[in-house]
Amino acid sequence: MEAVLAHLRGAIEHGHYAIGDKLPSEAELCRTLEVSRPVLRESLRALQTMGLTVSRTGKGTFVVANTVEDPTFGDYAASDLLEVRRHIEIPVAGYAAARRTPEDLDHLAHLLDRMERETDTTAWVAMDTLFHLAVAEAAQNPVFRRVIEEIRDALARQSAFLNELGGRREQSNREHRAIVEALIDGCESDAVEAMSHHLDRVETTLTDIVRPPRTESPLEGGPEA
């Protein structure tokens, strides 16, 4: 999927598909790129998340930009989502370390164990959002949970995006483990630091995907090269 995405993204960024152009049909792209339809559709969804294309029902996929500015996850731009997460989830981790109950810790530990054993990305992403909800619950303030519930769909979309394109799952599991260990210790400063590090890594991975080092495109000879 990463190779297909790089191919199509390169074709758009280098002008082989201009703004306003319609991409070839899924059937044609599958034949040209020699990939299955599910792989192609994941790549097309990633292009849309990046803001390079839009899909119009019954008409196809059209190019709307030739550079990636700010990916969108559900209803929220990535930059807006991350800004809110920093202001909410970092202090929430500190509150959770001070207020968590034995039941909260059992729930988080069980959830983390399941995540570390899970191999299916879709299932892991679902548990990832549950993990962040559980940390908010451990802070014992229902408003925090409501905020995370509001952005839950966006969190899931972002998580899937980062795992498909950034290979984040194992690293994220380690970061989650550090958060849980800080909560178990009841150390507010360690919990704040662990959540801050987690969000730093999310931002770094997202930036690496959105703005990779510029290299010569393999598509210089045309979109079907």
Q: Encode pLDDT of 116-172 as tens digits.
A: 999 888 899 999 999 999 999 999 999 999 999 999 999 999 998 888 888 889 999
Same domain, 34 and 92: no
Average pLDDT, the chain: 90
Distance CA 105, CA 217 (A): 49
Same domain, 45 and 90: no
pTM: predicted TM-score of the whole model, two decimal places? 0.80
Distance CA 116, CA 172 (A): 10
Residue corresponding to tokens 């390169």: 10
Other C-beta atoms lying within 10 Å of the C-beta of residue 101: 11
pLDDT tens-place string over residues 80-118: 999 999 999 999 999 999 999 999 999 999 999 999 999
Q: Do the strands 72-73 and 76-77 form a parallel or antiparallel pair, or are they unpaired? A: antiparallel
Query: Is residue 175 a part of any domain in this protein?
Result: yes
Structural domain including 47 reads 2-63
pLDDT tens-place string over residues 167-177: 889 999 999 99
pLDDT for 214 beyond 70: no
Query: Is residue 177 a part of any domain in this protein?
Result: yes
Same domain, 115 and 22: no
Same domain, 82 and 193: yes
Domain of residue 114, CATH code: 1.20.120.530
The reported pLDDT for the residue numbered 114 is 96
Q: What's the N-to-C CA distance of the chain in angstroms?
A: 17
Same domain, 89 and 146: yes
Closest to 45 in 3D by CA, of 78, 15, 77, 1: 1
